[in-house]
Amino acid sequence: MEIAVISGKGGTGKSSISAAFATLNGRKVIADCDVDAANLYLLFNPTHEEEIIYIAGHKAHVNYELCTPCGICANYCRFDAISFNGARVTISEISCDGCFLCSRICPENAIRMLQNDKSRMYSGSFRNGKMVYGRLAPGEENSGKLVNMVREKAKQVAGENNLEIIILDGPPGIGCPVISTITGADKAVIVTEPTISGLHDLQRTIEIVRKFDIKAFVIINKCDLNSAMSDQIETWCSNTGIKVIGQLPFDTGVVEAMVQGKSIIEYDINSDVSRMIIEIWNKIINTN
Amino acid sequence: MIKIAVASGKGGTGKTLVATNIFYTLLRNKADALLIDCDAEAPNAVAFFNVSQGNETEVTRMVPVIDTNKCTFCGKCHDYCNYKAIFIIPPFKIIRVFEELCHGCGACSVACMDDAITEKPVSQGRVTSFNIDERQAIIESRINVGVMSPVPVIQAAIKLANQNHDIIILDSPPGTSCPFIQTVSTADYVILVTEPTPFGLSDLKQSVDTLKSIKKPYGVIINRAGLGNDSVQNYLKDNDIELLLEIPFSREIAEFYSTGGIVSEKIPALGDRLFQMITKIISLNGNSSN
Ligand code: SF4
Ligand code: SF4
């Protein structure tokens, strides 16, 4: 069973909650799908049993020995990546989308497409099971594909090790990597916080989740920072037919745990937050 | 004109708090400032201000439309498309465009020898301008739910701002991938907001490496100082990175911020410190040609 933990925005405590779930009783697979800012490996220090290179698209490069320079390519590029000053064409690595068009139309065959090969996927073990995570190199796109790779690997590892539960720590936002994280997952846990932006982002996230046939639960984290807003979110959710399965109070213990490289469960299993997380987890697992 | 981006490796570090408060203090001090919300997946800045809505523009991307009467099913467009957005089975005369996969590069149009491809605009999101006291103050980028990349919408928002303001504050998208780079590459200076935790440090390092590789000047604000540990401070010291400001952790700030309030309104000292900081940044980095 794949359980995706997501949030409309970053900083809601999503990863801390994923980490808590991952360290509860019973070995699990944890897959860090937040490939743009992978963090869980910092807490779990997994072994690297496998390292796989991920090709995140291509970038165009000019071979100036062959370039005449006619400047034709600059007229074709739709991403404003090629500039031509009459004497030299320059391709901006930042803007190039890697579409290959310039390399195809260049009459001198002077443009080569080079692979972006700095991104990685790792698979290994952590103290409560198996861990798979991806790290997208800065500036690279297509993180959705890397997320798919991470999930595939996580499923394979789960199968090989007879582990039933896979926790997907998702990326923030509502873009392509989020969609890749929840497509086909069994359950989605949406972590939000009681701020105005928290509510807005939650609404957008639920809009996405609804496009997929996936059972969704909401956790309001740091609920006591604004209990009126927490209640407002709870009401909005129940009117929309989405279940709020828990409100967690703000607890500096969560940060202290992180500083020590632990989840809140490992740091203080008897804390209020830990007890509530256990309750929440049981609800997630036992709701069909 | 100077463009200053406010960014953070991960979301939720207080990037929007910093961007909106800098903007607020600039307005209070009668500066000619504009805020662009480039966090197109989750734009939130507008909610902090009393605004009236101005112009709204749709941002589109051109995707191919294939005329099956003219198509000879040669498959050249399919070969040219690097994003696997064209699906073709020649023997069955089946050809389809997957619009969600299309990047709008136009390669297929160039490839087609039979004049079978035209293009139509498909909405990616919108750029909205908002006024405060009847002058343009905030530009918001917002992608449609389900759109793959926010980059075109972000670019449109930055373009719309043109040169009509003295100071432009860009509230950047989180992360260090394409949307982040597209935003910060247009800026003269980048303020990175982080928090003093292991996650914060790891994301900060990645942002710093990225900014170094594109040679942008930057400095760091530590938000929620006092929470966590001092590994971020040590990292900054060891690497000679400027610490612009520390915003102490306080429940009061967190609670007030959650109501959608501008913290500097309640704690004017924060606004004053941000204003001093930004004045210094402008005097040292201002008036570039970007
Ligand atoms: S590969 Fe495409 S996006 Fe990149 S420079 Fe060439 S035409 Fe432009
Ligand atoms: S415009 Fe580019 S991405 Fe879109 S279908 Fe044509 S070749 Fe593919």
Reply yes or no on whether the pLDDT at B100 is more than 60: yes
Instruction: Please write the tens of the pLDDT for every residue from B105-125.
Output: 999 999 999 999 999 999 999
Domain ranges of chain B: 2-59+125-288, 61-123
Alpha carbons within 13 A on the beta-carbon side of B202 = 15
B146 burial via Cβ count (<10 Å: 0-12, 13-18, 19+): middle
Q: Is A114 on the interface with B (CB under 8 A)?
A: no
A163 lies in the same domain as A278: yes
- Kindly give the parts of chain A with pLDDT less than 70: 142
CA of A206 to the centre of ligand 2 (A): 30
A153 lies in the same domain as A238: yes
A106 lies in the same domain as A157: no
Q: Give the closest residue to A127 by CA, choosing from A44, A229, A70.
A: A44
Domain covering B61-123, topology: Alpha-Beta Plaits (3.30.70)
CA of B82 to the centre of ligand 2 (A): 7
What does the alpha-carbon distance between residue A96 and residue A87 come to, in Å, rounded to a whole number? 20
Ligand 1, residues at Cβ distance < 6 Å:
A 60, 76-77, 79, 81-82, 91, 96-102; B 105
A19 lies in the same domain as A93: no
Q: ipTM > 0.90?
A: no
| Residue B259 CB contacts under 8 Å (≥ 6 apart), including other chains | A195, A196, A226, A229
Q: Would you state the CATH architecture of domain B2-59+125-288?
A: 3-Layer(aba) Sandwich (3.40)
Counting ligand 2 atoms within 8 A of each CB, the residue from B102, B109, B112, B149 with the most, and so the one to mutate, is B102
Q: How confident is the model at residue B289 (pLDDT cuts 50, 70, 90)?
A: very low
Instruction: Please write the tens of the pLDDT for every residue from A52-70.
Output: 999 988 999 999 999 999 9
Provide the CATH number for the domain around residue A41.
Answer: 3.40.50.300
Instruction: Please write the tens of the pLDDT for every residue from B210-254.
Output: 999 899 999 999 999 998 889 999 999 999 999 999 999 988 888
Q: Is A138 on the interface with B (CB under 8 A)?
A: yes
Residue nearest to atom 2 of ligand 1 (CA): A99
Domain count along chain A: 2
Which ligand neighbours the alpha carbon of B120 most closely?
2
Residue A256 DSSP class: H
Domain around A88: 58-115
